[in-house]
Amino acid sequence: MPDYLIAFLLGVVEGLTEFIPVSSTGHLILLGHFLGLESAGTFDVLIQLGAILAILLVYFQRLVEIAMALPRDRRARHFVLSVLFAFLPAAVIGALAHDFIKSVLFETPMLICIVLVLGGIVLLVVDKLEFKPRYHDVMDISWPAAIGIGFCQCLAMIPGTSRSGATIVGALLLGADKRSAAEFSFFLAMPTMVGAFTLDLYKSRNDLSLDQGVLIAIGFVTSFVTALFVVRRLLAFVSQRGYSPFGWWRIAVGLLGAVLLLTVG
């Protein structure tokens, strides 16, 4: 397969899966493995920027409104601190365990398949539970709940878990309704992805090369466009359909990947 088609495909997968609870990292690693790619490290890091910019664009007006309200609105200050508190556990643990995660966990495709299936089962179970949500607006999520969601996010350091999946399930269990859980996951993605991107970019600085410029541009643009579509549609989708479709998708991908690993290698 030509390199530009691979770049396009990886960009589409990154954009489509980054903000839904199916694990973009797991999908990219498995896809790269079966396409016979070497670890795409730097390329994967740079195309993530497309997804980051997509969510910042969608929420730009909301972010400006919150920033303008900070000096006079206690609720806005409460929300910003909630997101920061939720971000801290992953920031600390991710920085300390970065090299182990990248060198060991990211190089184990079968582990990713197993985690995809287990995470899919968790989503199916959680989606069927009858919760009595305490938070119907993302701005009202309490600081203890936010910190709990932040620790749940740390589970996503195991590839295949899904950052959005871990935070959404955590938010549901801690009292958010389905829409607020997804929206808090979006807001938490902003500092988390920017932090991870910055750290990965710093760690990969010696691998950067202009030779891949065109391929990176293709992956970046396709990641941005597809992530833009997902972010704009996801809240309405989960409000109507819940998270079961993503659970079934995870199980299907995990089982298919495991079968291919055992038969093809």
pLDDT 10s digits, 253-265: 999 999 999 998 7
Q: Which residues lie closer than 8 Å to 19 by C-beta, 6 or more apart?
A: 51, 55, 164, 185, 186, 189, 227, 230, 231, 234
| Average pLDDT, integer, range 158-182 | 91
What pLDDT is stored for residue 136 in this prediction? 93
Q: How far apart are CA 2 and CA 93, in angstroms?
A: 38
Give the pLDDT band of residue 104 (cuts 50, 70, 90): low
As a whole number, the mean pLDDT across the chain is 88
Domain count for the chain, please give it. Answer: 1
User: What single-letter amino acid sits at 165?
Assistant: G
248: pLDDT strictly greater than 80: yes
| Average pLDDT, integer, range 124-151 | 92
Q: How far apart are CA 229 and CA 210, in angstroms?
A: 29
What pLDDT is stored for residue 35 in this prediction? 84
Confirm if 14 and 46 have CB atoms less than 8 A apart: no
* pTM for this model (two decimals): 0.85
In this predicted model, which residue has the larger pLDDT, 203 or 154? 154
Segments forming the whole domain that contains residue 241: 3-263
Q: How far apart are CA 191 and CA 193, in angstroms?
A: 6
41: pLDDT strictly greater than 60: no
